[in-house]
Amino acid sequence: MSKNYEDYKPLNPQPPRKRKNVGLVFIKYAILLLLVMALALSALFFITSHESENGGNKAEVPTLNTDNNHNDPADTTDNTTIPPETEDDPEPVEPEVVYTNVEVDKSGINKGGLILVMNNHKVVYPTAEELVKLSSVKTKSYKISTNTMTAHKDIIDAMNKMLDDFAAATGHTDLILWTSYRDEARQKQVYDDYVKKYGEEAAKTAVAKPGESDHNTGLGIAIRVYRNGKSYQLHELEGYNWLEENCHKYGFVERYPDDKIATTGLDYSSSFYLRYVGVPHAEYMKKNNLCLEEYIVKLSNYVYGGAHIEVVTDDGKAYEIYFVSGETDGEKVNIPVPEGKEYTISGNNINGFIVTASK
């Protein structure tokens, strides 16, 4: 039997569907999209600001490159990081030496610890004020041959120190100072006696004439050993080579070494004769095997304004040494010396002055 459509009823009846509001849905999706975009922009801002604070995407590290800054991909050498230079770490700068002139008498060429006295360069004898009687200043470490013996005052302290140290190091107190200063009369007597005994030809290489002997300076000492009323040369006995090995530390050198007879012109093997020249000079002469004649010639090549001899002594002190010519007009000579430094000036008894300055 047919039914009208209006009479039809579903087996499971449903409530009627409501129609969706399209405008409201659009607004919800728009709000959601805006929130997502806001979060993305916030994240991008955070990342950008963080990288700018750290100097970019990658920090550069200074490295020591020994290949002219060439980056070789095959180079696997471990580069060493070096700190940048700052004003707190300046490069050390050597202070410039400033020299000033001091005026000296030209006659000073004949005075000082480095005067060379020989046959063609005669001595200017020391004054009475420059000589000291050894009996009044000697120590117990050595003896003297006569109570009237004198020496130049400039050698006394170094001589006593050297001979005291010799006695302490070796236990020997039997050294004797055989001779030191000789005036012209005494030198003439020694020379004449030798000529009478051995002849004038033999005397030429054994004894200097008056005014031509290093003894006339008072700056040297002849040393022997004295035992039981008899004198010996140092090399005749064992245990006395200490002086030969160490005298330069006190400013003394052998004035007439056996291997320099052709240069000095004298064979002085009968006595161990030491000459005072000062510590820096003695150490330089010892190291370079120079006698006084050779050293004076060498010094004349190291003039002010050119290269200077530089010496560091055994005790660590540094010196510069240079020559200044005395061959000028007038009776005065201007000698450049370093400001603020200790220095000495000695004549060479020939043609100029030698400056020795601490560094």
Residues of the chain with CATH 3.30.1380.10: 122-276
How much is the pLDDT for 151? 98
**In 257-308, where do the E strands start and end?**
272-276
- Return d(Cα 78, Cα 344) in angstroms, integer: 55
Residues of the chain with CATH 3.30.200.180: 97-114+279-359
Calculate Rg over the CA atoms of the chain: 47
* Side-chain-facing half-sphere of 301: CA atoms under 13 Å: 5
83 Cβ contact list (under 8 Å, min separation 6): none
Local confidence pLDDT in tens for the 359 residues of the chain: 444 434 434 444 444 444 445 566 567 666 777 777 777 776 666 665 555 444 444 434 333 343 444 444 344 444 444 444 444 555 544 557 899 999 999 999 999 999 999 999 999 999 999 999 999 999 999 999 999 999 999 999 999 999 999 999 999 999 999 999 999 999 999 999 999 999 999 999 999 999 999 999 999 999 999 999 999 999 999 999 999 999 999 999 999 999 999 999 999 887 899 999 999 999 999 999 999 999 999 999 999 999 999 999 999 999 999 999 999 999 999 999 999 999 999 999 999 999 999 99
Lookup: tokens for 237: 């006995």
Query: Could you give the C-alpha distances from 147 to 136, 150, 164, 179, in angstroms and in order?
Result: 9, 9, 19, 11
Helix, strand and coil in the chain, % to nearest 5: 35, 20, 45
Amino acid present at 317:
K
Query: Could you give the C-alpha distances from 124 to 35, 46, 191, 215, 305, in angstroms and in order?
Result: 112, 95, 19, 12, 30
How much is the pLDDT for 69? 42
How much is the pLDDT for 199? 97
Q: Are strands 142-144 and 175-179 parallel, antiparallel or unpaired?
A: parallel
Query: What pairs with residue 310 in β-bridges?
Result: 320
Q: Which has the closest alpha carbon to 102: 311, 337, 358?
A: 337
Which residue is it, tokens 């140290």?
165
**CATH number, domain 97-114+279-359, options 3.30.200.180, 1.20.58.100, 3.90.230.10, 3.40.50.1820:** 3.30.200.180
Q: Count the Cβ atoms, other than its own, within 10 Å of residue 182.
A: 23
- Return d(Cα 288, Cα 317) in angstroms, integer: 18
How much is the pLDDT for 96? 79
- For domain 122-276, the CATH class is alpha beta
What is the separation of C-alpha 61 from the centre of its chain, rounded to a whole number of angstroms?
40
What DSSP letter does each residue of 227-244 carry, written as one string? ETTEEE-GGGSTT-THHH
Burial class of residue 308 in the structure, from the number of CB atoms within 10 Å of its CB (0-12 exposed, 13-18 middle, 19+ buried): middle
In this prediction the pTM is: 0.74
Lookup: tokens for 104: 């000296």
How much is the pLDDT for 268? 86
What is the separation of C-alpha 98 from the centre of its chain, rounded to a whole number of angstroms?
18
Yes or no: say if 234 and 170 are a contact pair by the CB < 8 Å rule. no
Helices (H), strands (E): how many in the chain? 8, 14
Q: Which has the closest alpha carbon to 281: 264, 268, 267, 294?
A: 294
- Return d(Cα 289, Cα 338) in angstroms, integer: 29
Amino acid present at 218:
G
Query: Could you give the C-alpha distances from 358 to 51, 194, 223, 257, 311, in angstroms and in order?
Result: 60, 44, 31, 29, 10
Burial class of residue 315 in the structure, from the number of CB atoms within 10 Å of its CB (0-12 exposed, 13-18 middle, 19+ buried): exposed
Query: What pairs with residue 156 in β-bridges?
Result: none
